[in-house]
Chains A and B, each alone.
Chain A
Amino acid sequence: MRTIEISVGAFVLAGILCLVFLAFRVSGVGVGDTSGGSYLLNAKFNDVAGLRVRSKVSLAGVTIGRVAKIGVDSETAEAIVTMQVSQEVANLPVDTGARIQTEGFLGGRYISLIPGGEETVLHNGDTITNTQGALGLEGLIDTFISKMGSK
């Protein structure tokens, strides 16, 4: 009976240790989760092609949040992207810019935030207006071809 107790205890302990391993070694360090607290920011883009819910939001190349929702503003025909940003970077200036970029050459889309210089900061639910939408490979090739053709 005693060996059974000990081995069951060891089994449960091993299971819990494995869960801890999964939670801290395999998964990310709290970014994109609401563990350390987060706030929401909106941004309006003319084109969000390729961006998805749970895409990265980065500042200076560091992931600071995730895309929470993508909707459309029917009046201006623009896309509204709601971002969940970690509370650790709660001091973004109001003139912060947002730009949709591509990871690597063919990688996924993410939003890169470019901080501005204003004193006042963005709060939960504020909207970023200084944006630049997705500039795809196709768009670049189109521009290139039309420029070549006009010469």
Chain B
Amino acid sequence: MLRYLRLLGQWALGWIGALGRASTVGFQSLAGLPRRGDMTLLLKQVYQIGVLSLIIIVLSAFSIGAVLALQGYTQLARVGAEESVGLGVALVLLRELGPVVTGLLFAGRAGSAVTAEIGLMKATDQLSSMEMMGVDPLHRIVAPRLWAGIICMPLLTAIFNSVAIGGSAIVGVDWLGVDAGGFWGGMQDGVQRWEDIGKGMIKSGVFGVVISWIAVFQGYDSTPTAEGISVATTKTVVYSSVAVLALDFILTLVMYGDFN
């Protein structure tokens, strides 16, 4: 009995310790970036994290938009309301699906890569040699990756939403023959700039911070062995996905919570 209690205590203490280390890493890197001469490092990371994620984001967005239009049409056409397909798809994407799916894809595509990269640098003693040379690895390695993630997530979400709405228009208007005026008009009538688009963008910004933070910390804090890196990469994907889904619920509750 006492043994289990001790294990529980150890586990809890481990978690709190990790949270403390994560806060220090996150805070120091966020505060440490805006210096001259860092733009090249940041640019390279935006390329690695953002530009190279475009293909998966665009492909997934198109499929999701197309499927939403297809499913929405078959249900709504039964009550003769197929013109609201546009509005339904747009609201679902802008408020929920856009930020969440982009976040999940981003965690899988970019977060895991960042963790593995930093983890390997640690395992091959690159980080400690940098420290020995008087270069702060938090500043040179961690900060650009953290900032790049924060910059890229909202941009990727905007691209995701636009492509998905385009995909739903192709399926809805061009294939299934929904009236184009009703499709776009209904969408413009029901979508509000701040309420739907602005708040969706805030969500994606929050997800960007959380995912990048988890990814760099897991890499920086990994056990410097081959197994340690694989564990850290897995943890990044699992933790970020859970965090995105849980945070999405909380943010929705806070932002759209006045159900009356």
Binding site for B on A (CB under 8 A): 1, 4-5, 7-8, 10-12, 14-16, 18-19, 21-23, 25-29, 32-33, 35, 52-54, 63, 70
A1 to B44, CA, bound (A): 8
Taking chain A's interface residues, is the majority helix, strand, or loop, or is none over half, making it mixed? helix
How close is A88's CB to chain B, nearest CB, in angstroms?
A: 17
Q: A8-B47, A18-B155 are in contact. List 14 more A-B contacts (CB 8 A).
A: A7-B47, A10-B51, A11-B47, A12-B155, A18-B159, A18-B161, A18-B162, A22-B158, A22-B161, A26-B94, A27-B188, A27-B192, A28-B189, A53-B260
Q: Is the CB of A22 within 8 A of B260?
A: no
Query: Which partner residue on chain A sits nearest B46 by CB separation?
Result: A8
User: Interface size bucket, B side?
Assistant: 20 to 34
How close is B242's CB to chain A, nearest CB, in angstroms?
A: 27
How close is A102's CB to chain B, nearest CB, in angstroms?
A: 15
Query: Which partner residue on chain B sits nearest A33 by CB separation?
Result: B193
How close is B154's CB to chain A, nearest CB, in angstroms?
A: 7
Q: Is the CB of A4 within 8 A of B43?
A: yes
Interface status of B196 (Cβ within 8 A of chain A): yes
How close is B257's CB to chain A, nearest CB, in angstroms?
A: 12
A21 to B258, CA, bound (A): 28
Interface status of B54 (Cβ within 8 A of chain A): yes
Interface status of B187 (Cβ within 8 A of chain A): yes
Given the known A-B contacts A4-B44, A11-B46, are A29 and B188 also in contact in the complex, defined by CB atoms under 8 Å? Answer: yes
Given the known A-B contacts A8-B50, A15-B154, A15-B156, are A21 and B162 also in contact in the complex, defined by CB atoms under 8 Å? Answer: yes
Q: Is the CB of B50 within 8 A of A11?
A: yes
Interface status of B165 (Cβ within 8 A of chain A): yes
Q: Is the CB of A26 within 8 A of B191?
A: yes
Interface status of B90 (Cβ within 8 A of chain A): yes
A88 to B154, CA, bound (A): 33
Interface centre among A18, A23, A33 (most CB of B within 10 A): A18
B residues near A18, Cβ cutoff 8 Å: 155, 158-159, 161-163
The listed residue (A8, A11, A22, A53) touching B162 by CB distance below 8 A is: A22
